[in-house]
Amino acid sequence: MVKLLCRYCWICCSNDNEEKQPKIWYYQDRLQTLPEKEVQLGMDNNVSYNRIYVTLDLSLIIKDIEKTDAGIYRCHGQEGQEEEYKFNYRIEPMLKDQRDTFIETGNITKWEEYRVINLLSVTTRFAISRMLDLVYLRQEGVILEVISEWGPWGPCEKCIHNKGVKTRRGYCRVKRQFDKTVILDHTSLLIKFFNKTPMLPCKSILLQEEFPLISSAVRYLPEFDLEEACKNCTKVKKKKKGKKFKYRKQYVFLEGAHSAISCPESDLQSQIVWKKDSIVLKQGVSRSFRKTDTEARVMVDTFSTLYIIDITKDEEGNYTCYVDNVNMMQMKIIVVSKSKFFTLAFMRHMGYLGFILLLSSFCYCTGLIMACRRRDTFKVVLPEKKNDVEEESIPTICVGNEK
């Protein structure tokens, strides 16, 4: 994501009438062959869906930079007010970082070694090479030099006894110069190109497309982080307690669930503000965070209760509520699919069951081992023998007729 500041809204004339003039962002191609035109902004009411949009402070936001975004951007009034104060921004898409590239670090002495090994050697190659493309450039009067373009100094860090280290990065750039001994042909497309392009990143896509030989020589060159000793380290301010949220919560929902959440410690007289990932959710206004489904799923009613309907991954994120400008609650919503939820629940219960079986088996085996080891201490009880009972003779009685 790229953020371009409308800078001369800050430094333009003090005249109140001029200050109230609306500022518009304009685009022009790299070589400025066509007149500038207004930047085409996204028109979706949900700002998060727009790839290009303007913030309240008139900064231009461009997300997911594309090749068609390359060019010059200016911010000024509709009738050209304050053009003498304008800042020109040039957006140049670059190749993605390669795994083979890295960043070197060191002091100014190390940078001089880096310059000789990496930058000066390539510059010398451009100056003496007999390759046709480079020979043609020199004949046309174009001299190429590989340099480091320095960024701003960072804060003083790694402080010990109020002494630390600050760094700034030297970005690899291909800079053009014109040979004063050669008469330039200003009608040449090559001269027109370099006249409007005094410098290009070593990883520029434009450089790869127009001059692949030059691009192959510089695109893998490392960049350099220059370190320098510093004093008066910046003190890290402790966060005020008032900045912390009084409540922190986390909710896990199944896809398709519904939820209604109220901000704690609030009443009908409280001024309540809800936000999702720093986007304000206005009362009584429904909205959707989905690209394919425009039906509203998130709403804050007039009583400042947050409703989420048929929740999906698009509604996942950080929600915060403020009561009378007090940071009241920070809430994180996580959404899981039903299949994943039931799979996790099944695995969790299987874990419980496995633990119970393991504990039972351990107790059972322990009992057997203890019983085996202490078998000599057990009292042996033999079964009692029953006394023989003499069988009593039963008299025999004969019944019959007497003779």
Q: What is the pLDDT of residues 142-183, one digit of tens each?
A: 999 999 999 999 888 888 877 889 999 999 999 999 988 888
User: Residue range 195-203: average pLDDT?
Assistant: 90
> Is residue 393 one of the residues assigned to a domain?
no
> Is residue 355 one of the residues assigned to a domain?
no
Does residue 313 share a domain with residue 198? no
pLDDT tens per residue, range 282-315: 887 777 777 666 677 888 887 788 888 888 888 8
Domain limit, last residue, from 167, 196, 231: 231
* Tally of domains in the chain: 3
Q: How confident is the model at residue 268 (pLDDT cuts 50, 70, 90)?
A: confident
Which of 14-28, 83-97, 383-397 is the most confident on average?
83-97
pLDDT tens per residue, range 85-122: 567 888 888 887 655 567 899 999 999 999 999 999 99
> Is residue 134 one of the residues assigned to a domain?
yes
Does residue 155 share a domain with residue 207? yes
Sign of CA dihedral 123, 93, 34, 23: negative
> Of the candidates 49, 32, 50, which has an alpha carbon nearest to the alpha carbon of residue 40?
50
> Is residue 79 one of the residues assigned to a domain?
yes
pTM of structure? 0.55
User: Is residue 84 predicted with pLDDT exceeding 60?
Assistant: no
Strands 103-106 and 223-231, by their bridges, are: parallel
Rounded Cα gap, residues 86 and 349, in angstroms: 66
User: Is residue 336 predicted with pLDDT exceeding 90?
Assistant: no
- Residue 298 belongs to a domain with what CATH number? 2.60.40.10
Query: What are the CA-CA distances from residue 269 to residues 247, 265, 266, 272, 304 (Å)?
Result: 20, 11, 8, 9, 11
Does residue 213 share a domain with residue 309? no
3-class secondary-structure state, position 191: helix
**Minimum mean pLDDT among 77-91, 125-139, 253-267: which range?**
77-91
Does residue 211 share a domain with residue 117? yes
Domain limit, last residue, from 67, 91, 115: 91
Does residue 198 share a domain with residue 149? yes
Give phi and psi for 88, each to the nearest 5.
-95, 130
Query: Contact at 8 Å (CB) between 306 and 319?
Result: yes
Does residue 85 share a domain with residue 107? no
pLDDT tens per residue, range 339-361: 766 677 778 788 888 889 988 98
> Is residue 85 one of the residues assigned to a domain?
yes
- Full residue range of the structural domain in which residue 260 is found: 247-338
Question: What pLDDT score was predicted for residue 158?
Answer: 81
Question: What pLDDT score was predicted for residue 14?
Answer: 45
Does residue 300 share a domain with residue 181? no
Question: What pLDDT score was predicted for residue 251?
Answer: 87
Does residue 215 share a domain with residue 161? yes
HSE-up of residue 399 (Cα within 13 Å, Cβ side): 0
Question: What pLDDT score was predicted for residue 97?
Answer: 67
Which is more confident, 284 or 214? 214
Does residue 121 share a domain with residue 15? no
Percent of the chain with pLDDT over 70: 81
Strands 247-254 and 326-336, by their bridges, are: parallel
Does residue 140 share a domain with residue 223? yes
Does residue 299 share a domain with residue 223? no
Question: What pLDDT score was predicted for residue 112?
Answer: 94
> Is residue 241 one of the residues assigned to a domain?
no
Domain limit, last residue, from 315, 338, 361: 338
- Residue 36 belongs to a domain with what CATH number? 2.60.40
Does residue 122 share a domain with residue 203? yes
Helix 132-140 and helix 189-196, axial crossing angle in degrees, nearest 10: 80
Helix (H) or strand (E) run with residue 91 in it: strand 89-91
> Is residue 242 one of the residues assigned to a domain?
no
What is the average pLDDT score of the chain?
81
> Is residue 376 one of the residues assigned to a domain?
no
Locus of tokens 């007289």: 269
Rounded Cα gap, residues 359 and 353, in angstroms: 10
Q: Side chain identity at 128, as an amino acid letter? A: I
